[in-house]
Amino acid sequence: MCTPDERGMGAAMRNLTLLLLVACKGASKTPTPAPETAAENPVAASVVAAMNPEVGACDDFYEYACGGWLANTELPPDRPNMTRSFTTIFDENQAVIRRILEEASKDAGDDPVKQKLGTFFGTCMDEAAVEAAGTKPLEPLFARIDGVKTRDDALEVAGELMSFGPNPFFSGGTWADPKDPNTNILSVMQEGLGLPDRSYYVDETDERKAVRAKYLEVMKDLFVLTGSTPEQAEKDAAAVMAFETSLAKHHWERAELRDAEKTYNKMTVDELNALAPSVDLKRWFAGVGIEPPAGGVIVVTPSYFEGMDAVVKATPVPVLKTYLRWHAIVWASPFLTKAIDQRRFAFFGTALSGTTEQEPRWKRCVNRTDDAMGEWLGKAYVQERFAGESKEVAEEMVAGIFAAFEKNLPNLAWMDETTRGRAVEKADAFRAKLGYPKTFRDYTEMEVVKGDLLANMRSAGAFNAKHQLDKVGKPVDPDEWHMTPQMVNAYYNPTGNEIVFPAGIMQSPFFDKDFPRAMNFGALGMVIGHELTHGFDDEGRKYAPNGELKEWWEPEASERFEEQAECVVDQYSSWEIAGVNVNGKLTLGENIADLGGLKVAHLAYSDWVAEHGEEPKLAGLTGEQQLFVAFAQGWCTLATEELQRVRVATDPHSPPKFRVNGPVMNLPAFAEAFGCEKGAPMAPADRCEVW
């Protein structure tokens, strides 16, 4: 039997090359895909082309299902990563949106929606106008920062910056109050760093030191490119680095931010200000453009505000101004001259993410227009890409997966009957949103001008921020979506107790109404099960059926859940990618959702087969095997080493290889489907099970 080292599991991802090895013991029971041609069956041919049958499914399922795609796919120089399914759909969606925008920019007619979309996109594409403007668009921001005289002034300007883009010092956002899920409340939390995570400032590894050195260089260069002398730029870069390092030392670890109870600290604005008495935080609210909320705010990271206060108090006002200036430059640089944009990209794109080239300008401008007026674009998108029949098939899958989840609850030995009954109540109370919202947002009041890209980006940021801030203290709209219809993603909202699947993800190869049901259940069905399980992961389980954050489990069940979850923490923490171990605590919720999502998708498919009969083999694979392969092929991923290291430090999701191998090795049904011998890498004697 092969060990992970013998299989080259780490090296395959570190070097982004495929190790084609001779299969080890157990591979003889792995089906060899039939070599069907695209002409005979294009779906089967696509599945087979992505696989590497030289590797046993029981030894390394990710390599078995994805090895062909990994070997024959080259990571483009303008991308730090790409995923077989997500990237395919994203590119197709982006092409649709590009055509919509190009047509609008050329001839919008009398349609005010097309006129605004076309003007925004066309201005973004006008490189000559951007070059001619130089750094002039920055002058209003610099003038406002130059007017800062006191620390309180600095906080007010920070609020102004946050109202359209940057987040110096700390950030704020509007969400449903976890203790009163029908009412919106403002949450404030730690922010203010230019590097991805506190570890980039405090860790003393050679890799982190090298990143810090490059960060200093890009600061110096961008200060010079926006008007500073080289001597002043060097001093300013050192001052910003020292200030951000001091802030970073007070940042909570990302795993701590996942604790819904620890991060729920409701305070009056006066109580918040008492955490930072050296500055008047009410000035920040004035800068943002709202009155201090009478209903209070949620302070996610209270100790950070105490630490921030000490740092700000010890920092001269000129340094605070330099810090604000830097964050304004970082935010604005992608919308300025080519020299400024490329210098920024050389660090944030290449040094941090490993991307050697920028995306073509049209892609960047499509994305910016999408960010600015996403639901207007979404309305046009769904008219072309999302047929009603697709939604009906997906709704049928959702119903089957929910039924399978409830049907499985009695099989969980660690859960008592009382808590099990309440879990059924929560599952019954779930809402599922598919496709697109009932009503699309209106962007008529957003100001867009021809020829000034930075002004339009600032206007879009301010308009969308105001949309969020205006909700503070008001009832939650149960029909609101937090993703646009064209987004290739999905989410679970704990306070709404809802799962949401935009039309963007409900596309081939993730989903197709004409695919075998096994493939749909394995790919999109697993995602549906994943989001459902989020309602019962280590965070989601703390929210009651009505979305309220409160304890609804029996104490014994909570204790046993923690024991089950600790198995998952330990298992994932033992795996390594790009020379760094996975953080099992940071990724716990997503790992639990992955394990539960695959399990419930398989159970739902089994119920479907019981009602409709076995599906024919595809590429030599049984229906069950198709399900598992379709699941795995949704996560076939190439990524740069640099991005992998950033994600291990910041991403609550495990690396794709482990998002595949983790769920299958913990699911006995997988071993049965592929005839894995007990003790094989994908059929260990000791498994983790939560849901």
- Residue 177 CA to residue 430 CA, distance in Å, equals 18
Radius of gyration of the chain (CA): 26
State residue 666 phi and psi, 5-degree precision: -100, 5
531 assigned to active site = yes
How far is 86 from 527, CA to CA, in rounded Å? Answer: 12
Closest CA to 593 of 544, 502, 518, 663: 663
Look at strands 431-435 and 498-502 and give their pairing: parallel
* Catalytic site residue from 370, 375, 537, 594: 594
Residues 6+ positions from 213 with CB-CB distance below 8 Å = none
CA distances from 665 to 57, 64, 504, 592, 670 (A): 11, 14, 30, 13, 7
- Of residues 183, 191, 187, 162, the one with CA closest to residue 174: 187
Tell how strand 81-83 and strand 637-639 pair up.
antiparallel
- Nearest Cα residue to 134 out of 332, 385, 2: 332
Tell me which amino acid residue 428 is: D
At residue 29, the pLDDT reads 56
Q: In angstroms, rounded to a whole number, what is the distance separating the alpha carbons of residues 236 and 216?
A: 10
Cα-based distances in Å from 433 to 85, 317, 478, 593: 22, 49, 11, 18
pLDDT for position 383: 86
What pLDDT is attached to residue 388? 63
Cβ atoms < 10 Å from Cβ of 146: 13
Q: Rounded to whole angstroms, what are the CA distances from 2 to 60, 208, 302, 600, 664?
A: 9, 34, 49, 29, 17
Residue 22: per-residue pLDDT? 26
| Whole-number Å distance between alpha carbons of 659 and 652 | 12
CB 129 within 8 A of CB 254: no
Q: How far, in Å, CA of 301 to CA of 251, rounded?
A: 8
Count how many Cα atoms sit within 13 Å of the Cα of residue 645 in the half-sphere of its side chain. 17
* CA separation, residue 347 to residues 15, 198, 239 (Å): 21, 18, 19
From the list 248, 200, 243, the residue with the least C-alpha distance to 235 is: 243
Q: Are 396 and 434 in contact (CB under 8 A)?
A: no
DSSP structure string for 429-477: H-EEEEES-SS----TTS---TT-HHHHHHHHHHHHHHHHHTTTTSBP-
What distances in angstroms separate CA 103 from CA 97, 106, 113, 124, one per listed residue?
10, 5, 12, 15
Residue 349 DSSP symbol: I
Q: Note whether 196 and 352 are within 8 A (CB).
A: yes
Rounded to 5°, the CA angle 687-66-61 comes to 20
Q: List the one residue out of 666, 423, 430 whose CA is nearest residue 557.
A: 423
Percent of the chain with pLDDT over 70: 94
Please count the other Cβ atoms lying within 10 Å of the Cβ belonging to residue 672: 11
Residues 308-324 pLDDT 10s: 999 999 999 999 999 99
Domain 153-335 homologous superfamily, CATH: Neutral endopeptidase , domain2 (1.10.1380.10)
pLDDT of res. 493: 96
Structure tokens belonging to residue 607: 């119920």
Pairing status of strand 491-493 against strand 498-502: antiparallel
Q: Please count the other Cβ atoms lying within 10 Å of the Cβ belonging to residue 513.
A: 14
The per-residue pLDDT for 6 is 28
The one catalytic residue in 236, 341, 531, 641 is 531
Question: How far apart are the C-alpha atoms of 348 and 195, rounded to whole Å?
Answer: 9
170 Cβ contact list (under 8 Å, min separation 6) = 188, 189, 190, 191, 192, 304, 305, 308
CB hemisphere CA count around 51 (13 angstroms): 29
Q: pLDDT below 50 — which residues of the chain?
A: 1-28
- Name the H helices within 511-640: 517-520, 526-534, 555-573, 588-612, 623-633
Q: Which residues of 563-586 are buried (b: 16+ CB within 10 A; e: fewer)?
A: ebbebbbebbbebbbbebebbbbb
Report the chain's terminal Cα–Cα distance, integer Å.
29
Q: What is the pTM of this model?
A: 0.90
Q: In the chain, what are the domain boundaries? A: 4-72, 153-335
CB 559 within 8 A of CB 551: no
Sign of the four-CA dihedral 440, 446, 449, 451: negative
pLDDT of residue 10: 31
